[in-house]
């Protein structure tokens, strides 16, 4: 009776073995060469409590790649941790009348269990959670160091305020003017906030995208657009009757003669000034403040404006241009003011038409347009016109060339409880003082009665009452916590050095940048940009010599069901838990890898899952049926001593290995899975009577190793049972044998004397007559015949077939 495939049993067994043997533990502190190390990182999950198929796909891809690299001889670092601070924990705590920490820890526990059940080869000794004090201590340290370098500062800022969730929202969290979670109408509020000066790195962040040759172009483009580098001119307009000037940023100084009005942002200082004396302006501004500040929303919102009684003087022709306050101008871009050219700019035209403002054409209607209505510049085509006008502006000191960025400084203050405390003390005398390093970490108080909507830290005396690190007098702690994007902007360092040696250790560069970073496309912009920024800050602090944190980036495709994204709201979710229960983890892993290349969307198919299960079962049964002969044989292809059919099988196996190895490199892991299936097809045909055991062991050994990264549990069990070795995870990855591949490129040529067969020689396909004669002389038997036949009258040579000596 052979043992039947019982994933539940063998998967538990393999997992226990890895734990016991610490198979995936890696030393990062010992001296090693960067090229021998492989750092494979999957974006750590938010501790939401449930693992969905998107996670499973993300982490399976990383795990297959990691296991493969280990077999290929690399020291592989594959860690896992938890992005564990954030709003959902607070909301859940309210719902469950619990505490965010309890909820979070419970979730970590259950998610970890599921990850272990999936058989992911993590070095669990490096597990981290961003809510751990040992972890965030270094984040607080970094903040203080950045402050010393002028890279963090506090300023009043208008923020999107969600009156229900009682928190500041990022622009992306405002959807159609409403809070993304609460759906409440978002208000604009001015409060003091901490900012990171990411704009100081705008140019580097833009330029270094070029060095990221192993990133998807789509992601690089998104980053580039987000940074939004733009070369243009600041043009200074005098305000009639006032001492100050109004500066505008334009990329089209060539259109200056078409500027028929000016438009300034509602929060421009000039607007604020006017609002003090003018009720209409004041109420217009108030009205606009209700509108979302998200750029996309501003672009599409109805163009509103109010005219002021100020006029600007156009420096190129001294014409008077009315100044408007308009809702489509961003204070945070350029100078917060524009010259409007309705003839050339769509937004300005829309505004002009609505408010009945003048439109002055500046380009002719010809195939090659040239300037018109533009004084001495008339007749110039655009490029030349721009050059000439900018030059004159610079010469007359009415303007200067400038590069601006769409990127803004990163607001990191959150008025929430469940986050890393910002390590600042507010002293009545000294102002905002950074905590002393020896006082870190500033711990988040845990024993707190959790209640919704309350600014908890602000009411927690034990937390905020402290003394000033500078003067020693009584003072209040900052009660804002960090944006959780900060928590995840440096975690890839902590996995390596684990905070033993500071935020990073010198040895970290033996592993940095991350060889392969895998995660969802939803993180294409912010997370990756913040991490790139922090890495550059660490570089400038001389804590690393690596400028980019992630060498290769893989954005895995989505998991779909019938063409739609799997999601709770659509009710089409398939739970990994149920599937593990039914088929075992190996089947899910195989399906995920087999069904689509990692970067493409994967459409769920119950039938295909079933098919994967059947495949694994077949392999299992086949090996079990042959288990005795496998146990008692040594692996050897026995290529010289087997029949032609078996030889062909062995050649086919090696040819399949060529494809598999080509595709492991370009991460088309799906062909590794289909390659394994192909191998099995060939292997199940092996029938030779001689040397069957050795040949089978050779072939099955290849199959198990190819399949191991994808179905690690089953192959682990079969490897040990078939006496292939102790731990397949440490076995050498299978590559094609060149000498066997060459066999396929060889032919057998018959040697004849006067038309009678005397023997055969093997030679390369298409070998010449001379080559064949050399081969004959090189073979004892044929050479003996050759020596007997002298003189040769005639030689008949048929390429790849025969050589006939006529004597």
Q: How many CB atoms lie within 10 A of CB 366?
A: 9
What ranges make up the beta strands (E) of 436-489?
A: 465-467, 474-477, 481-482
Adjacency order of strands within the sheet including 167-169: 167-169, 152-162, 187-196, 410-411
Residue 399 engages ligand ANZ in binding (rule: CB under 6 A): no
Least distance in angstroms from the C-beta of 249 to ligand ANZ:
5
Residue 695 engages ligand ANZ in binding (rule: CB under 6 A): no
HSE (side-chain half, CA atoms, 13 Å) at 769: 8
Residue 218 engages Zn ion in binding (rule: CB under 5 A): no
Which of 329, 468, 503, 642 binds ligand ANZ (CB under 6 A)? It is: 329
* Binding mask of the shown chain, residues 106 to 145, with x at each position contacting ligand ANZ by CB under 6 A: ----------------------------------------
Least distance in angstroms from the C-beta of 430 to Zn ion:
3
Selection from Zn ion, ligand ANZ, none that 57 binds (CB < 5 to 8 A by kind) is: none
With helix as H, strand as E and coil as C, how does 141-181 read?
HHHHHHHHCCCEEEEEEEEEEECCCCEEECHHHEECCEECC
DSSP-derived secondary structure letter, 402: E
Which of 52, 57, 252, 532 binds ligand ANZ (CB under 6 A)? It is: 252
Residue 187 engages Zn ion in binding (rule: CB under 5 A): no
- CA–CA–CA angle 140, 142, 143 (5° rounding): 65
Residue 470 engages Zn ion in binding (rule: CB under 5 A): yes
CA distance 25 to 11: 19
Interacting stretch for Zn ion, rule CB under 5 A, among 99-107, 213-221, 424-432, 749-757?
424-432
Residue 336 engages ligand ANZ in binding (rule: CB under 6 A): yes
Which of 170, 330, 743, 750 binds ligand ANZ (CB under 6 A)? It is: 330
Least distance in angstroms from the C-beta of 238 to ligand ANZ:
18
What are 220-226's contacts with CB under 8 Å, separation 24+?
Answer: 222/524, 222/525, 223/524, 223/525, 223/528, 223/529, 225/406, 226/406, 226/407, 226/525, 226/529
Residue 249 engages ligand ANZ in binding (rule: CB under 6 A): yes
Continuous segment of H or E residues that includes residue 65 = helix 53-71
State how far the alpha carbon of 796 is from the alpha carbons of 50, 674, 789, 793, 802, in Å: 77, 47, 15, 10, 8
Residue 754 engages ligand ANZ in binding (rule: CB under 6 A): no
Give how many residues touch Zn ion by CB under 5 A: 6
Task: Say whether 317 sits in a helix, a strand or coil.
Answer: coil
Residue 427 engages Zn ion in binding (rule: CB under 5 A): yes
Selection from Zn ion, ligand ANZ, none that 468 binds (CB < 5 to 8 A by kind) is: Zn ion
CA distance 208 to 210: 5
Least distance in angstroms from the C-beta of 259 to ligand ANZ:
7
Which of 128, 341, 553, 579 binds ligand ANZ (CB under 6 A)? It is: 341
Give how many residues touch ligand ANZ by CB under 6 A: 16
Residue 429 engages Zn ion in binding (rule: CB under 5 A): yes
Selection from Zn ion, ligand ANZ, none that 334 binds (CB < 5 to 8 A by kind) is: ligand ANZ
Continuous segment of H or E residues that includes residue 530 = helix 526-540
Selection from Zn ion, ligand ANZ, none that 339 binds (CB < 5 to 8 A by kind) is: ligand ANZ
Least distance in angstroms from the C-beta of 470 to Zn ion:
4
Reported residue count of the chain is 807
Which of 334, 675, 722, 759 binds ligand ANZ (CB under 6 A)? It is: 334
Which of 6, 221, 225, 251 binds ligand ANZ (CB under 6 A)? It is: 251
Nearer to ligand ANZ, 28 or 233 (CB): 233
Q: How many CB atoms lie within 10 A of CB 225?
A: 11
Nearer to ligand ANZ, 54 or 336 (CB): 336
Task: Say whether 213 sits in a helix, a strand or coil.
Answer: coil
Which of 255, 314, 656, 661 binds ligand ANZ (CB under 6 A)? It is: 255
Residue with tokens 């179905």: 711
Radius of gyration of the chain measured on its C-alpha atoms: 35
Residues in contact with Zn ion by CB under 5 A are 427, 429-430, 468, 470-471
Residues of this chain that interact with ligand ANZ (CB under 6 A) are 230, 249-252, 255, 329-330, 333-334, 336, 338-339, 341, 344-345
């Amino acid at each position: 009776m052979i043992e039947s495939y019982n994933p539940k049993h063998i998967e538990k067994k393999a997992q226990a073995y890895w734990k016991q043997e610490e198979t995936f533990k890696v030393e990062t502190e010992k001296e090693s060469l960067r090229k021998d190390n492989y750092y494979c990182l999957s974006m750590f999950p938010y501790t939401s409590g449930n693992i969905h198929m998107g996670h499973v796909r993300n982490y399976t891809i990383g795990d297959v790649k990691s296991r493969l690299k280990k077999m290929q001889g690399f020291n592989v670092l594959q860690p896992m941790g938890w992005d564990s601070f954030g709003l959902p924990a607070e909301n859940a705590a309210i719902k469950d009348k619990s505490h965010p920490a309890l909820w979070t820890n419970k979730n970590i526990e259950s998610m970890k269990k599921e990850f272990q059940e999936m058989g992911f080869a993590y070095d669990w000794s490096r597990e981290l959670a961003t809510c751990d004090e040992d972890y965030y201590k270094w984040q607080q340290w970094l903040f203080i160091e950045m402050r010393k370098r002028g890279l963090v500062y506090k300023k009043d800022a208008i923020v999107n305020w969600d009156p229900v969730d009682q928190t500041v929202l990022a622009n992306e969290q405002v959807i159609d003017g409403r809070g993304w979670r609460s759906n409440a109408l978002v208000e604009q509020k001015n409060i003091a906030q901490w900012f990171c000066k990411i704009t100081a790195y705008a140019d580097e962040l833009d330029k270094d995208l070029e060095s990221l040759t192993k990133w998807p172009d789509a992601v690089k483009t998104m980053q580039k657009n987000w940074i939004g580098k733009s070369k243009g001119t600041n043009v200074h307009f005098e305000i009639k009757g006032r001492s100050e000037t109004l500066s505008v940023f334009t990329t089209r100084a060539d259109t200056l003669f078409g500027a028929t009005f000016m438009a300034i942002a509602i929060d421009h200082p000039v607007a604020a000034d006017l609002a003090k004396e003018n009720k209409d302006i004041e109420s217009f501004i108030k009205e606009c403040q209700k509108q979302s500040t998200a750029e996309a929303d501003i672009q599409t919102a109805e163009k509103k404006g109010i005219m002021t009684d100020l006029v600007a003087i156009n420096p190129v022709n001294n014409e008077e241009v009315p100044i408007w306050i308009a809702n489509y101008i961003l204070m945070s871009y350029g100078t917060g003011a524009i010259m409007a050219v309705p003839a050339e700019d769509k937004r300005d035209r829309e505004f002009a038409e609505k408010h009945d403002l003048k439109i002055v054409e500046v380009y002719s209607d010809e195939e090659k347009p040239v300037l018109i209505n533009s004084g001495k510049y008339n007749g110039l085509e655009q490029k030349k016109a721009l050059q000439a006008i900018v030059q004159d502006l610079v010469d007359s000191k009415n303007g200067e060339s400038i590069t601006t960025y769409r990127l803004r400084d990163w607001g990191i203050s959150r008025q929430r409880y469940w986050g890393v405390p910002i390590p600042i003390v507010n002293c009545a005398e000294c102002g905002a003082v950074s905590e002393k390093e020896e006082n870190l970490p500033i711990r988040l108080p845990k024993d707190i009665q959790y209640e919704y909507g309350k600014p908890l830290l602000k009411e927690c005396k034990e937390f905020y009452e402290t003394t000033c690190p500078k003067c020693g007098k009584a003072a209040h702690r900052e009660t804002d916590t960090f944006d959780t994007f900060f928590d995840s902007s440096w975690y890839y360092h902590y996995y390596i050095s684990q905070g033993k040696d500071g935020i990073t250790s010198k040895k970290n560069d033996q592993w940095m940048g991350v060889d392969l970073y895998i995660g969802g496309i939803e993180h294409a912009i912010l997370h990756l940009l913040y991490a790139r920024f922090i890495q550059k800050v660490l570089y400038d602090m001389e804590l690393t010599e690596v400028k980019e944190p992630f060498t290769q980036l893989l954005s895995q495709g989505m998991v779909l069901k019938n063409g739609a994204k799997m999601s709770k709201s659509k009710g089409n979710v398939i739970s990994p838990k149920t599937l593990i229960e039914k088929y075992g983890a190996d089947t899910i892993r195989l399906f995920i890898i087999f069904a689509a290349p990692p970067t493409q969307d994967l459409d769920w198919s119950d039938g295909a899952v079933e098919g994967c299960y059947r495949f694994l079962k077949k392999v299992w049964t086949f090996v079990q049926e042959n288990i005795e002969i496998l146990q008692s044989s040594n692996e050897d292809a026995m290529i010289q001593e087997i029949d032609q059919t078996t030889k062909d099988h062995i050649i086919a196996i090696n040819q399949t290995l060529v494809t598999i190895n080509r595709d492991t490199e370009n991460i088309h892991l799906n062909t590794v899975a289909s390659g394994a299936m192909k191998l099995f097809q060939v292997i199940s045909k092996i029938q030779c009577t001689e040397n069957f055991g050795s040949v089978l062991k050779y072939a099955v050994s290849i199959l198990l190793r190819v399949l191991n990264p994808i179905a690690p549990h089953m192959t682990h069990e079969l490897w040990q049972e078939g006496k292939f070795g102790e731990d397949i995870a440490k076995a050498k990855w299978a590559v094609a044998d060149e000498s066997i591949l060459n066999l396929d490129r060889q032919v057998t040529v018959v040697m004849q004397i006067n038309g009678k067969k005397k023997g055969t020689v093997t030679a390369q396909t298409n070998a010449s007559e001379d080559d064949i004669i050399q081969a004959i002389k090189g073979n004892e038997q044929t050479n003996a015949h050759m020596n007997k036949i002298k003189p040769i009258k005639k030689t008949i040579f048929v390429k790849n077939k025969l050589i006939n000596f006529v004597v």
